[in-house]
């Protein structure tokens, strides 16, 4: 059975400890980063000679292991990208790489990778660093006589006497798309967890169970129901429909989102972070994990009630220590603590590419809604179904997520559909704002469509 190259092997960076001989014959331990090729079937990782790039350009210049690691991640991302393009190539641009390996690497391949990073939503600072690292990499390969094409990298000496390399990727014939620096401020938050979104979301929730158990169920609602933080903290026990609208379905979970600020937070003067944007019924993707989180959470609430520690009747998300309803800011602080542990766990397990992606832009509680949107896109939902399932008023709200996931042709089709819909509305000024809320039947219909394709976990 044929196994695609990008599924068979994965390039990964590894930080390793070595002993080096110092003056006097004394051995001292130190850390360096190497690049390895992992056989995904056997899980065996073989150090690759390409590691000499890190050693020559970073270790020998006494740059820190963290700097080495960052460069190693980018090179591994680039090489993994090359493997994927070899498998998906219809243009013939990557055919020589399959035959001759890295010797056939050309500038256009690096240019395509830079454009790829732009499509992923990386900001201009990140893409600039990618370009500098690739420039060093191509220069190293040419000096080692490891590639056929001469990248013609110009070297200059700056005023501090340091040699600098001028990027060869500025050539207009390479047709690179870079982020607009003017838009960096608009790209303030991360829009997704990337292709591993499902497993990463599950890991995040599992960490919440251990380190912030009083909000773990809410975190699930965000990642698998798209709730905003204000919508989570406004939920009450009676808001939940854990067996569907009829109360008879074991694998159907809905919540009624309403504004309960007066009931839950009567003493707070500023409820800016506890607001509900759009009251609505909302489906939650059902799973065994959801059932466990729900059962554990309700059991804890019953325990607080029996001890008369619950400060507000019918409150759902409360501090397990005090029994006081958790406000938006308090929820966000707990979420931030989980995020820190989550990223540290990924580093510990050496998921360097995920860490690189997750640290490329800041993110907070709203990432759950973004991941939920991308999961729905994975299930094949169209723009109108996305709007309805997210509880949006506008057809355009989900476009920011679509633009990083689909081809230009698909985006164009989506935009044409939106434009047609607007044009058919009687009120042109308000044309993009359609129905205010889903009916119960519509909500169930979309839920069933999602769940029919969903892999249980």
Using one digit for the tens of pLDDT, what is the confidence trace for 2-27?
A: 677 778 889 999 888 876 655 555 66
Residue range 29-54: mean pLDDT, rounded:
89
Strands 280-284 and 253-257: antiparallel
Q: Is residue 448 part of a domain?
A: no
Which region among 108-122, 207-221, 366-380, 389-403 has the lowest average model confidence (pLDDT)?
Answer: 389-403
71 plus 139 within the same structural domain: yes
Alpha-carbon gap, residue 128 to 143, rounded angstroms: 23
C-alpha distances in angstroms, 6 versus 10, 88, 196, 357, 405? 7, 10, 15, 19, 19
Locate tokens 């380190």: which residue?
211
Q: Is residue 421 part of a domain?
A: no
Q: Is residue 415 part of a domain?
A: no
What are the DSSP calls for 364-421, one per residue? -TTHHHHHHHHHHHHTT--HHHHHHHHT-SBTTTTHHHHTTTS-HHHHHHHHHHHHHH
Q: Is residue 455 part of a domain?
A: no
Which region among 247-256, 258-267, 404-413, 428-437 has the lowest average model confidence (pLDDT)?
Answer: 428-437
Q: What is the pLDDT of residue 27?
A: 61
pLDDT digits (tens, 9 = 90+) for 325-360: 999 888 998 999 999 999 999 988 888 888 888 987
Residue range 136-156: mean pLDDT, rounded:
94
Q: Is residue 294 part of a domain?
A: yes
pLDDT at residue 135 tops 50: yes
23 plus 140 within the same structural domain: yes
175 plus 246 within the same structural domain: no
Q: What is the pLDDT of residue 99?
A: 85
Q: Is residue 340 part of a domain?
A: no
pLDDT digits (tens, 9 = 90+) for 60-89: 888 888 889 999 999 999 999 898 888 776
206 plus 137 within the same structural domain: no
173 plus 254 within the same structural domain: no
pLDDT at residue 39 tops 70: yes
Q: What is the pLDDT of residue 349?
A: 87
User: Please, what's the b/e burial string for 162-183 (b: 16 or more CB within 10 A of its CB; e: otherwise)?
Assistant: eeeeebbbeeeebebebbeeee
The chain-wide mean pLDDT, for the chain, equals 82
Selection from 1-10, 90-99, 124-133, 423-432 with the highest mean pLDDT? 124-133
Q: What is the pLDDT of residue 341?
A: 95
Which region among 304-313, 376-385, 407-416 has the lowest average model confidence (pLDDT)?
Answer: 407-416
Q: What is the pLDDT of residue 227?
A: 94
pLDDT at residue 117 tops 90: no
210 plus 159 within the same structural domain: no
Q: By C-alpha distance, which of 73, 59, 70 is closest to 31?
A: 59
213 plus 302 within the same structural domain: yes
Q: What is the pLDDT of residue 425?
A: 46
Q: What is the pLDDT of residue 56?
A: 92
Q: What is the pLDDT of residue 191?
A: 82
pLDDT at residue 432 tops 50: no
141 plus 263 within the same structural domain: no
165 plus 36 within the same structural domain: yes
Q: What is the side-by-side strand order in the sheet with 9-21?
A: 9-21, 27-39, 45-47
pLDDT at residue 308 tops 70: yes
Q: Is residue 378 part of a domain?
A: no
Helix, strand, coil percentages, rounded to 5, for the chain? 50, 10, 35
The residue range of the domain holding 308 is 202-220+228-334
Q: What is the pLDDT of residue 362?
A: 83
Q: pTM (2 decimals)?
A: 0.60
Which region among 192-206, 297-311, 351-365 has the lowest average model confidence (pLDDT)?
Answer: 351-365
pLDDT digits (tens, 9 = 90+) for 217-247: 999 999 999 999 999 999 999 999 988 766 6
Which region among 168-172, 282-286, 358-362, 403-407 has the lowest average model confidence (pLDDT)?
Answer: 403-407
Q: What is the pLDDT of residue 431?
A: 36
Q: What is the pLDDT of residue 413?
A: 57
Q: What is the pLDDT of residue 345?
A: 94
Q: Is residue 43 part of a domain?
A: yes
Q: Give percent above pLDDT 90 in the chain.
A: 42
């Amino acid at each position: 059975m044929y196994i695609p190259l990008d599924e068979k092997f994965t390039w990964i960076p590894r930080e390793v400890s070595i002993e080096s001989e110092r003056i006097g014959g004394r051995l001292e331990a130190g850390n360096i980063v190497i690049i390895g090729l992992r056989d995904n079937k056997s899980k065996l990782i073989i150090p690759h000679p390409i590691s000499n790039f890190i050693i020559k350009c970073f270790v020998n210049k006494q740059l820190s292991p963290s700097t080495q690691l960052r460069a190693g991640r980018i090179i591994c991302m680039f090489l993994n990208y090359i493997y994927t393009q070899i498998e998906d190539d219809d243009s013939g641009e990557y055919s020589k790489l399959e035959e001759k390996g890295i010797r056939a690497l050309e500038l256009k391949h690096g240019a395509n990778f830079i454009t790829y990073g732009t499509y992923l939503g990386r900001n201009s600072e990140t893409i600039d660093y990618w370009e500098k690292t690739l420039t060093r990499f191509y220069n190293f390969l040419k000096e080692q006589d490891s590639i056929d094409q001469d990248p013609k990298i110009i070297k200059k000496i700056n005023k501090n006497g340091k040699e600098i390399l001028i990027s060869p990727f500025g050539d207009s014939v390479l047709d690179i798309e870079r982020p607009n620096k003017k838009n960096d401020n608009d790209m303030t938050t991360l829009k997704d967890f990337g292709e591993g979104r499902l497993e990463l979301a599950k890991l995040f929730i599992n960490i919440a169970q251990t380190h912030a158990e009083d909000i773990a169920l809410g975190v699930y609602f965000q990642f698998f129901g798209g709730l905003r933080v204000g919508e989570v903290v406004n939920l009450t026990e009676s808001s939940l429909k854990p067996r569907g609208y009829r109360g008879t379905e074991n694998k159907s979970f809905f919540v009624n989102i309403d504004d309960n600020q007066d009931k839950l937070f009567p003493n707070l003067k500023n409820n800016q972070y506890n607001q509900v944007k759009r009251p609505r019924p909302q489906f939650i993707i059902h799973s065994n994990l959801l059932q466990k989180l729900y059962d554990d959470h309700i059991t804890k609430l019953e325990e607080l009630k029996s001890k008369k520690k619950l400060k507000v009747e019918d409150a759902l998300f409360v501090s397990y220590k005090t029994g006081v309803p958790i406000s938006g800011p308090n929820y966000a602080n707990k979420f931030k603590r989980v995020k820190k542990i989550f990223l540290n766990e990924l580093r510990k397990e050496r998921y360097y590419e995920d860490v690189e992606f997750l640290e490329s832009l800041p993110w907070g509680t709203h990432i759950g809604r973004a991941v939920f949107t991308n999961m729905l896109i994975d299930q094949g939902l169209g723009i109108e179904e996305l709007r309805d399932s997210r509880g949006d008023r506008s057809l355009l709200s989900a476009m920011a997520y679509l633009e990083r996931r689909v081809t230009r042709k698909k985006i164009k089709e989506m935009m044409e559909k939106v434009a047609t819909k607007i044009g058919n509305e009687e009120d042109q000024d308000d044309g993009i704002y359609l129905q205010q809320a889903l009916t119960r039947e519509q909500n169930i219909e979309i839920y069933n469509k999602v769940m029919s394709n969903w892999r249980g976990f």
